[in-house]
Amino acid sequence: MKEQKNPKGMHIDQHVVDNDNKVMTTNDGVPVYDNNNTLKAGDRGPSLQQDHVFFDKLMHFDRERIPERVVHARGSGAHGVFEATADMSAYTTAAFLKKGAVTPVFTRFSTVAGFKGSTDLARDVRGFSVKFYTEEGNYDLVGNNIPVFFIQDAMNFPDLVHAVKPEPNNEIPQAASAHDTFWDFMSLMPEAAHMTMWTMSDRAIPRSLRMMEGFGVHTFKFVNAKGKGTFVKFHWKPRLGVHSVAWNEAQKISGFDADFHRRDLWEAIENGDFPQWDLGVQLVPEEDEMKFSFDILDPTKIIPEELVPVQIIGTMTLNRNPENFFAETEQAAFDPGRVVPGVDFSDDPLLQGRIFSYMDTQNYRLGGPNFHELPINRPINGKHNNQKDGFSRMDIPKGAVSYFPNSKAEGCPYHAMLKGETGYQSHKQPIDASKVRARSDSFADHFTQARLFFNSQSPEEQEHIISAYSFELSKVNDVNVRRRELAILNQVDQNLAKKVGDNLGLVPPKKLDELTLKFARQNHPEYPIQPKKPEVEKSEALSMKVKPGEGTIKSRKVAFLVDDGVNQSSVDRMKRQLEKEGAMAVLIASHVGKIKYQEGGEVEVQHSYLTDASVLYDAFYTPDGDSVKKLADNPDYLQFINEGYRHCKALAFAKGAEELAKRSFIAKDKGVIFESSDNLTDDFIQVMKEHRVWEREKPRKVPA
């Protein structure tokens, strides 16, 4: 029979599926009663392995992309070491956390939404995952640069990722959340309000991977030698501080150097500027599990540091780049379910789902169950079990036995308990609950911590959040989606909602949309539920603004804007002072190759005004010399200093070069340093330590 086609050449057959007015089903056609909650032992209890609806959904999701990761596809990695600096034996038996222990690590940073070829500077969450090669096996601390997440239950994870990915009909946009499907999903999920506040903040556009905080996101458990459990949240605190780029800057960096973060990390390690983070923990005794106004098992909540301070317990140093990107960074397999004795899981329902999903994903993505034999994934203490077959087996296991118990191999490999040795034991947690597909009402407060985050920002950071929401929602075509999200913002902060609404030409609704309420009540039938009074209204740790005297310019790139005839002593004086502080001086001229000094002699220049842009640098210095006359007639030079000024960066001018500032729209402020009136090097360095001159932003309407 001749194949039938419609006029556009599309096949007409039974494979065309229309979901309009259809009940949701599993892939086997079984109607789904609840697509929001995993099956648990009680509404705050652990998820159950018999949840076939969840497994059906997640196993399909984990296999949707070949061969790159479904999420976190674009990543950069580095090797290093972790040194424990505090005695944690009262809380955990984990050997790598014994004071003085030094453990090799591999760390991978990544964006979430974009494909492998997308830009580093997308507005996005950043993955921050560390593989510890401990003497008791591999431990993976799989986290992000934001301490909370969009959703509370793993059942919604495929939906979240489908919403933020390019729209399926046209594969647009790439590596961006400013489109209808993402905000349609967000506007129907009040639980996402806190996380979207973080992603609309400057946290989502970091200056460098070396300048990001990292978080374990979930609440985990430490277990000590007596079997006592303690809830724990993990924090990575960067030694270089937490810094961002401006949104306008990020868009331009994406055009000039889409590998900006990857290159920055690689070059820093190659130059010996090894990035460091302190590992901190927040510890909550078991008996204090229900102490707070929020639920510590809720992954959309933080524990404010005012309530539980972060204790520093060790330092990670990244000191070696990969030899081969594919063999190491691309094949590194992370799994939050990979824990060691002394570390265990809480009943966080999102964490419970990730324990299954990540292992399943790696089995699929890396070609079978033996991905742990790849060099980057191998434990340093070896592996010994009865699993001898499977795709991509690289080891050659000896012997005729592949089962347990056995006598032919004298019971080997043996259970630790059979010889009185310590092995991995889960925390003995009593459970007495009914099997339910439901969510605890202690998870129902969706706006208090979103408000806490917004209130904790500096005025400049708040304006950036307003600008980010305005930009994102302006890209949304469906006005109903815009209104629904404005209604959510109105529950967080009315001034925030009004300002975003003004930029969209809309009045924010006072109440949540009926459709949003309908979905919220599937999880909490009595929603909205009156929230408890929060313990804190502001948290200093949530703002990125640097306090005077607390910053550093270590490894920052300072553009020296020069040309033939530049004064060498003017260059060298500033260069020496900056290098004492750990910064880098990069000469940029009208051409690459050799340029001549005013005093005679030459210097090799590898960067020019045509190949580089101001957005790639942290500050700018113009030396004096005969070069000043040439720069005065160079529009690319003027573009450099004007744009650097607009992005609130420090600019220094040697005495003979001060007239160049007058040829631009640059106005004198504390971040514009003149040798004739200021302490040139000291003032320049001090302003750089504050990262930006934010006071410059508002009156001049600098794009954020």
pLDDT above 80: residue 139 = yes
* Mean pLDDT of all residues in 476-485: 98
CATH domain 447-542 topology: Hemocyanin, N-terminal domain (1.20.1370)
CA distance 212 to 494: 30
pLDDT above 90: residue 539 = yes
pLDDT in tens, 89-129: 999 999 999 999 999 999 999 999 999 999 999 999 999 99
pLDDT above 80: residue 648 = yes
Mean pLDDT of the chain: 92
The pair of structure tokens assigned to 78 is 């580095």
CA distance 511 to 521: 15
The pair of structure tokens assigned to 449 is 């911590």
Catalytic residue among 138, 144, 321, 642: 144
DSSP 481-518: HHHHHHHHHHHH-HHHHHHHHHHHT-PPPSS--HHHHH
pLDDT above 70: residue 347 = yes
Determine the distance from the C-alpha atom of residue 203 to the mean position of all C-alpha atoms in its chain, rounded to a whole number.
8
pLDDT at 157: 96
pLDDT at 66: 52
Confidence band for 653, pLDDT divided at 50, 70 and 90:
very high
622: exposed, middle or buried (C-beta count within 10 Å: 0-12, 13-18, 19+)?
Answer: buried
pLDDT above 60: residue 274 = yes
- B/e letters for 582-621, b = 16+ CB within 10 Å, e = fewer, are ebbbbbbbbeeeebbbbeeeeeebebebeebbbbbbbbbb
* Lowest-pLDDT range of 70-84, 409-423, 488-502, 642-656: 409-423
The pair of structure tokens assigned to 252 is 């331009």
pLDDT in tens, 413-457: 878 777 787 788 889 888 889 999 999 999 999 999 999 999 999
The pair of structure tokens assigned to 542 is 């949530």
CA distance 340 to 593: 54
pLDDT above 80: residue 25 = no
pLDDT at 702: 56
Q: What are the angstrom distances between the C-alpha of 56 and each of 153, 349, 367, 522?
A: 15, 17, 20, 21
pLDDT at 9: 40
Residue with tokens 């909370």: 148
- What phi and psi, each to the nearest 5 degrees, are found at residue 285? -60, 150
Query: What is the percent of the chain with per-residue pLDDT over 70, rounded to a whole number?
Result: 96
Output 28 or 191, whichever has higher pLDDT: 191
Confidence band for 6, pLDDT divided at 50, 70 and 90:
very low
* Mean pLDDT of all residues in 581-593: 96
pLDDT at 549: 72
Max Cα-Cα span within the chain: 89
- What phi and psi, each to the nearest 5 degrees, are found at residue 129? -120, 135
Give the torsion through C-alpha atoms of 142, 146, 147, 148, to 10 deg.
-100
CA distance 98 to 83: 9
pLDDT above 70: residue 10 = no
- Residues 342, 224 contacting (CB under 8 angstroms): yes
pLDDT at 368: 84
Which part of the chain has CATH 1.20.1370.20?
447-542
- What phi and psi, each to the nearest 5 degrees, are found at residue 483? -65, -45
DSSP 249-264: HHHHHHHH-TTHHHHH
pLDDT above 70: residue 704 = no
Output 286 or 15, whichever has higher pLDDT: 286
The pair of structure tokens assigned to 492 is 């967080």
Is the full-model pTM beyond 0.85?
yes
Q: Architecture of domain 557-696 in CATH? A: 3-Layer(aba) Sandwich (3.40)
pLDDT at 1: 36
Which part of the chain has CATH 2.40.180.10?
39-377
72 is catalytic: yes
pLDDT at 475: 97
Please tell me the class of the 39-377 domain.
mainly beta
pLDDT at 339: 93
Helix boundaries (H) for 568-633: 568-580, 627-632
pLDDT above 80: residue 26 = no
Q: What are the angstrom distances between the C-alpha of 77 and each of 93, 274, 325, 363?
A: 28, 13, 8, 21
CB-based contacts of 678: which residues, under 8 Å, 6+ apart? none
Catalytic residue among 36, 72, 446, 634: 72
Beta bridge partners of 560: 587, 621
Which part of the chain has CATH 3.40.50.880?
557-696
CA distance 56 to 280: 37
144 is catalytic: yes
Helix or strand (DSSP H, E) at 470: helix 459-474
Output 476 or 392, whichever has higher pLDDT: 476
- Say how many Å lie between the first and final Cα of the chain, rounded: 62
